[in-house]
Amino acid sequence: MSDITLKITDREGILHEVLAPTDMAMNLMEVVRAYELAPEGSIGVCGGMAMCASCQCYVKTNHELPEMGIDEDMMLAEAFYVEENSRLGCQIQMTLKMDGLEVELAPEI
Partner 1 sequence: MITTDILIIGAGPTGLFTVFEAGLLKLKCHLIDALPQPGGQCSEIYPKKPIYDIPGFPEILAGDLTANLLEQSKQFKPGFTLGERAETIEKQDDGSFIVTTNKGTKHQAPIVAIAGGLGSFEPRKPPIPNISEYEDSGVEYMIKDPEVYRNKKVVIAGGGDSALDWAVFLTNVAEEVTLVHRRNEFRGALDSVDKVQELKNLGKINLITPAEIKGILGAGKVTGVAVEKKGEAPFIVDADHFIPLFGLSPKLGPIGNWGLEIEKNAIKVNNALDYQTNIPGIYAIGDVNTYPGKLKLILCGFHEATLMCQSAFQRIFPDKKYVMKYTTVGGIDGFDGTRKEAPKAVVKAIQ
How far is C-alpha 31 from the geometric centre of its chain's CA atoms?
8
Regarding 46 and contact with partner 1 (CB under 8 A), the answer is yes
- Nearer to partner 1 by Cβ, of 6 and 76: the residue is 76
**R_g (Cα) of the chain, nearest Å:** 12
* Residues of this chain, 76-105, that bind partner 1 according to CB under 8 A: 77-78, 80-82
Q: What angle do CA 12, 91, 96 make, to 5 degrees?
A: 90
Side-chain-side CA neighbours of 17 within 13 Å: the count stands at 3
- Nearer to partner 1 by Cβ, of 18 and 79: the residue is 79
- Structure letter (DSSP) for residue 91: G
Regarding 54 and contact with partner 1 (CB under 8 A), the answer is yes
Regarding 34 and contact with partner 1 (CB under 8 A), the answer is no
Q: How far apart are CA 62 and CA 85, in angstroms?
A: 10
Regarding 68 and contact with partner 1 (CB under 8 A), the answer is no
Taking alpha carbons only, the member of 18, 16, 23, 17 closest to residue 1 is: 23
Among 2, 34, 49, 85, binds partner 1 (CB under 8 A): 49
Regarding 109 and contact with partner 1 (CB under 8 A), the answer is yes
Give the footprint of partner 1 on this chain (CB under 8 A).
36, 39-42, 45-46, 49, 51-52, 54, 74-75, 77-78, 80-82, 109
